[in-house]
Every structure is written in C-alpha cells, then in structure tokens.
Amino acid sequence: MPGSNVKPTTTTINYRAAITECFGAMPDDVIVHIKGASDTHAWLAALFRAIENEAEKPDPSSNHIKTLAELGSYVSEDFCNIYGCAHEDFTEKLELSGVIPSEAARTKDATVPASR
C-alpha cells in the first residue's frame, strides 16, 4: 500500500477488495469525505471566530460581517451537497451489496412494535 508503513497481508488485501466491492471505491476514496468534513468544520469554526471578532469591535463593519456570513453560507451549502451526495451514493452501494438493510427495511423495522 503506497505511503503506508503497513505491509499488505492476505487479510488487508481482502479488506481492501471487500471495501472496494461494497462501496465501488478504494478505501482511501471512501474515507476522504470524512477528512473533508473535518477540514470544512475547521474552516467554518475559523470563519465564525472572525465574524464574532468583527462583531465585538467598538465600531463593527456590517458589510464585513455580512460578507463573512455569506462566505460561511456558501461553504456550508457547497460541502453539505458534496457530503450528502457521497452519503447517498455509499449508502446505496452498501444496500445493494447487502451489507446494510435497505431504507424500506429500516423504516419497516422502526414501525414494527417489539414483541414481548
């Protein structure tokens, strides 16, 4: 595995193949979305700190605050779409491979009362 200190074994190769088969993507491509979400939240935290700092100034600029807020809204909506699409895509692939139950089965299971 390039860039890794872990030597491939039969087990790791089987995991890679299983992940690729279930998700339709290599493991690194599956987890990249988690890293992206983490980075996005760090950016948004910094942006909100900047908005807070601007708002706390003795003479805050409403234009500056508005521009920062618009930037935050844009970044949030854009990345929400990216991660939402990835979630839907990977969920569908896992459902089709039988790794997780389908949405219909999960909904049905949630509405069936537990037996005593």
Q: What is the pLDDT of residue 1?
A: 46
Q: What is the pLDDT of residue 27?
A: 86
Q: Is 53 left (phi over 0), alpha (psi -120 to 50) or beta?
A: alpha
Question: Which alpha helices (DSSP H) does 24-61 contain, by range?
Answer: 27-55
Q: pLDDT (tens digit, 0 to 9) for every residue of the chain, 116 residues total?
A: 455 565 666 666 688 888 888 888 888 888 898 899 999 999 999 999 999 999 999 998 999 999 999 999 999 999 999 999 999 998 898 888 888 888 777 677 666 666 55
Best CA proximity match to 47, nearest among 69, 79, 77: 69
Residues in the chain: 116
Q: What is the pLDDT of residue 102?
A: 84
